[in-house]
Structure 1
Amino acid sequence: MAETTEKKYITNEDLRKHNKSGDLWIAIQGKVYNVSDWIKTHPGGDTVILNLVGQDVTDAFIAFHPGTAWHHLDNLFTGYYLRDFEVSEVSRDYRRMAAEFRKLGLFDNKGHVTLYTVAFIAAMFAGVLYGVLCCTSVIVHQIAAALLGLLWIQSAYIGHDSGHYVIMANDWYNRIAQIVSGNCLTGISIAWWKWTHNAHHLACNSLDYDPDIQHMPVFAISTKFFNSMTSRFYDRKLDFDPVARFLISYQHWTYYPVMCFGRINLFIQTLLLLFSKRKVPDRALNFAGILVFWTWFPLLVSCLPSWTERFFFVFTAFTVTALQHIQFTLNHFAADVYVGPPTGNDWFEKQAAGTIDITCTSYMDWFYGGLQFQLEHHLFPRLPRCHLRKVAPVVKELCKKHNLPYRSLSWWDANVLTIDILKKAAYQARDAANPVVKNLVWEALNTHG
């Protein structure tokens, strides 16, 4: 008779000790895995693992990975199990919900949204080319600029969806879609987006870990930024110096104008990453895509008859894309924030607290790219956008069951609430009693529009 191997156990306290470079352990459903080497080739980057290392990460793993990923865990298994492994009622319900969606085939059924969007983008691009190259009317040129801005918005949604691998089953096709929709059409590196966006999803609305709400010195959505906290994502101090105090004091007035020029900052962020010493996946491919953008876009603008028209063409296109920048901030600026790293045992709670949905009719879903269902997307980032409206009532009921926030506001109300948050922080920034550090060096290039 074969001898039964006795299971080996460690405690959560023991697991937390394995959180240093070269000794990185995580737990998934009570089994402990060594990811010290895997982190170097992890498709989602090292940041997401480093932020949760030494913890049980079951919910985050379920959210980000397809069913096939479970098979890769066997090679990382340490042989240990968690002795004090517990699952909260919220997590149980979340996992049941994810399993039910998987049984229904929602993660695999991509729908035809991407096909329609790509056709729409192609039609708009043809319209832009016709308006600029074949017409002499200033009004037509402005319409073409507005179309270009709308094209950038829709192309960014394709880049976002392909970045989450929810538009095609083949990874290589998804990567091509990422480069074309992101780098080639919008001039924003998909490598930069994935680097910051994965960290944002994991540490949603953590003041010091979520790069998407670290906008010092231009914006501060919380007075906690007045303590000059350190960004754990950028490993840089966010100084609340006199320059930051001045800018933040008027942030409720500058919010919309800054959004109109936020795209410039994204261009800069792209170049800073691609020229940095960081390990950048597909760096050459990302460079090639950026070169494509900076070839066709300047050439298109140069075809306009005067510098005045060229300026207003670019300005109009940027202003239209400001709608998307505003939408992204509406989803998070007025939500709950916290300080510190994300934790693995309150995944659902943190996502519910840190997000705000935008209420709209179904025929406007194309405009918002599915991201009006921000909580649903954060809970299930691999869920194709065509299913987000379907699952929203189920998510809402689960939030109600566990007394968690489920906020869905109209576009207008979300704007009012966001401006109110900015205004309150602005008034407190003006308070002379708040200390200001003496260092005037500030990292404006590391804000995000």
Structure 2
Amino acid sequence: MCEDSTMVSSPVDVLKSNSKSDGKKYITSEELKKHNKPNDLWISIQGKVYNVTEWAKIHPGGEIPLMNLAGQDVTDAFIAFHPGSAWEHLTKLFTGYHLKDYQVSAVSKDYRKLASEFAKAGMFEKKGHGVIYSLCFVSLLLSGCVYGVLFSSSFWVHMLAGALLGLAWIQIAYLGHDAGHYQMMSTRGWNKFAGIFIGNCITGISIAWWKWTHNAHHIACNSLDYDPDLQHLPMLAVSSRLFNSLTSVFYGRQLTFDRLARFFVSYQHYSYYPIMCVARVNLYLQTLLLLLSKRKVPDKGLNIIGTLVFWTWFPLLVSCLPNWPERVAFVLVSFCVTGIQHVQFTLNHFAANVYVGPPTGNDWFEKQTNGTIDIACSSYMDWFFGGLQFQLEHHLFPRLPRCHLRSIAPIVRELCKKHNLPYTSVSFFDANIMTLKTLRTAALQARDLTNPAPQNLLWEAFNTHG
């Protein structure tokens, strides 16, 4: 680490000239921006500059969040994703330099104050009893599914069993989301176990894949070229700017808008719901591609074992049905019910504002308010949305257990009002209408055939891991 620090801080004379009478060494934001490469990666937190070049390789959140914010002050993002205990680990990464032109905006000051108040109140540690209730509910759903398949000969009972399985997968995904943000269990080790068990073993979707994409999504919320949650060509496009065949920084490949993509996107406002019904197939494929790739994956062995557990029990359960038509129908019903959740996830972002380019560390609060949409609902429906109807609140405070999101929503709304920032909260119905209008607008723009696109292969849409 010391060797790297010496190597990358070559403009010594410039840095010395920035020393002040207080004895501290300073660099400017422009000089910090130069340290934005994998082998030369610096960041600033509260005006102190850190060399995270080597740390990025073992960072629990992966390299991508650090790379996306490299060469910037990342104080707000650091506060959002890290507990107070993380601050002590920064000392060994300190370069000795401070940011000469370090400034804090008014909205960042309020955000940091709010985060501090939540921490002092112990809200990040108070998880409530939602996890226990959810686990009991999931157990009942899975038991009902297995009982319906094994002990009934009725076609409709079998279809009901498939629906129960789909509903269980929805609730399990919310639990996996909690575990992925280190909220669900009392220790990090138990969270890891919970994530692999309920993610890989029960749903067949790797928690490693989810964390890989989800961390990038949080950091680069609604960036067309940095946020993987908006990169669905050739099937879907939320903005005409994707028609320029942007390069996905996350996947490291071009998001080619060719004739095939133009065809699918032109009718996406019709195909949106059918695609959501079978979107789970793509998640299985993404999991397999990641785990079979040469990419370094945390706990790769455990993720592979967990995924194999799923592909053992699920086919066995399906095989217990009396014939192939019922087996296919059972799987489709379970997928279609889970499709409700895929719709929920897209409603939070598809109709929100998008941008092109990397995220920036000094407008954290602003980017989250512009890129997220809350779903307004009664408290008795919180189980249905898993807390993610408060999408903005979750993005601002991703470590905050879902049981607190409803209580902080009015505070966040007032903060947005104070700083003249958008706070979008609409009903589930209206969110669907907004999303369909967004897709329809892009679809009509895609039908303009004055700019023919080159042909490409459908496989590129799925082969994202190389």
TM above 0.5: yes
Q: Unpaired segments of 5 or more residues in structure 2?
A: 1-20
Select 1:31's aligned residue among 40, 48, 54. 48
In the alignment, the residues of structure 2 paired with residue 68 and residue 248 of structure 1 have an alpha-carbon distance, to the nearest angstrom, of: 46
Equivalent residue for 2:247?
230
Select 1:55's aligned residue among 72, 81, 84. 72
- Once the two structures are aligned, what percentage of the paired residues are identical? 67
Which deviates more from structure 2 when the two are superposed, residues 427-436 or residues 44-53?
427-436
Equivalent residue for 2:431?
414
In the alignment, the residues of structure 2 paired with residue 398 and residue 5 of structure 1 have an alpha-carbon distance, to the nearest angstrom, of: 36
Which amino acid in 2 is paired with 1:381?
P
Task: Indicate if the aligned counterparts of 2:178 and 2:401 stay in contact, CA closer than 8 A.
Answer: yes
Task: Indicate if the aligned counterparts of 2:260 and 2:456 stay in contact, CA closer than 8 A.
Answer: no
In the alignment, the residues of structure 1 paired with residue 243 and residue 25 of structure 2 have an alpha-carbon distance, to the nearest angstrom, of: 48
Question: CA shift at 1:435, angstroms?
Answer: 3.8
In the alignment, the residues of structure 2 paired with residue 134 and residue 25 of structure 1 have an alpha-carbon distance, to the nearest angstrom, of: 61
Task: Indicate if the aligned counterparts of 1:238 and 1:442 stay in contact, CA closer than 8 A.
Answer: no
In the alignment, the residues of structure 1 paired with residue 140 and residue 424 of structure 2 have an alpha-carbon distance, to the nearest angstrom, of: 35
In the alignment, the residues of structure 1 paired with residue 413 and residue 213 of structure 2 have an alpha-carbon distance, to the nearest angstrom, of: 28
Verify: 1:365 aligned to 2:389, yes or no: no
Question: CA shift at 1:103, angstroms?
Answer: 1.0
Which amino acid in 2 is paired with 1:125?
L
Select 1:308's aligned residue among 306, 321, 325. 325
Equivalent residue for 1:244?
261
1:51-77 deviation line (CA, Å, top 9, x unaligned):
001000000000000110001001101
Select 2:398's aligned residue among 381, 386, 389. 381
Which amino acid in 1 is paired with 2:375?
I
In the alignment, the residues of structure 1 paired with residue 102 and residue 463 of structure 2 have an alpha-carbon distance, to the nearest angstrom, of: 40
Secondary structure of residue in 1 paired with 2:237: coil
After superposition, residues 410-449 of structure 1 pair within 5 angstroms as 410-440=427-457, 443-445=460-462
Question: CA shift at 1:22, angstroms?
Answer: 2.1
Equivalent residue for 1:107?
124
CA change 1:148–1:134 in 2 (3 A) is: same
In the alignment, the residues of structure 2 paired with residue 403 and residue 70 of structure 1 have an alpha-carbon distance, to the nearest angstrom, of: 31
1:21-64 deviation line (CA, Å, top 9, x unaligned):
32211000000001011011000000000000100000000000
Which amino acid in 2 is paired with 1:397?
E
CA change 1:412–1:446 in 2 (3 A) is: farther
In the alignment, the residues of structure 2 paired with residue 401 and residue 316 of structure 1 have an alpha-carbon distance, to the nearest angstrom, of: 46
Secondary structure of residue in 2 paired with 1:345: helix
In the alignment, the residues of structure 1 paired with residue 264 and residue 148 of structure 2 have an alpha-carbon distance, to the nearest angstrom, of: 39
Select 1:262's aligned residue among 248, 259, 279. 279
Verify: 1:220 aligned to 2:237, yes or no: yes
Task: Indicate if the aligned counterparts of 1:335 and 1:354 stay in contact, CA closer than 8 A.
Answer: yes
Select 1:207's aligned residue among 224, 243, 248. 224
Equivalent residue for 1:319?
336
RMSD over equivalenced CA pairs, Å: 1.3
After superposition, residues 34-433 of structure 1 pair within 5 angstroms as 34-433=51-450
Which amino acid in 1 is paired with 2:110?
D
Count of residue pairs the alignment pairs up: 445
CA change 1:301–1:287 in 2 (3 A) is: same
In the alignment, the residues of structure 2 paired with residue 437 and residue 203 of structure 1 have an alpha-carbon distance, to the nearest angstrom, of: 29
Q: Structure 1 length normalisation: TM-score? A: 0.97
Q: Unpaired segments of 5 or more residues in structure 1?
A: none
Task: Indicate if the aligned counterparts of 1:209 and 1:340 stay in contact, CA closer than 8 A.
Answer: yes
In the alignment, the residues of structure 2 paired with residue 128 and residue 446 of structure 1 have an alpha-carbon distance, to the nearest angstrom, of: 33
Which amino acid in 2 is paired with 1:205?
N
Task: Indicate if the aligned counterparts of 2:226 and 2:250 stay in contact, CA closer than 8 A.
Answer: yes
Task: Indicate if the aligned counterparts of 1:128 and 1:144 stay in contact, CA closer than 8 A.
Answer: yes
Which deviates more from structure 2 when the two are superposed, residues 375-384 or residues 437-446?
437-446
Task: Indicate if the aligned counterparts of 1:218 and 1:447 stay in contact, CA closer than 8 A.
Answer: no
Task: Indicate if the aligned counterparts of 1:219 and 1:248 stay in contact, CA closer than 8 A.
Answer: yes
Q: Structure 2 length normalisation: TM-score? A: 0.94
CA change 1:440–1:155 in 2 (3 A) is: closer
Which amino acid in 1 is paired with 2:196?
I
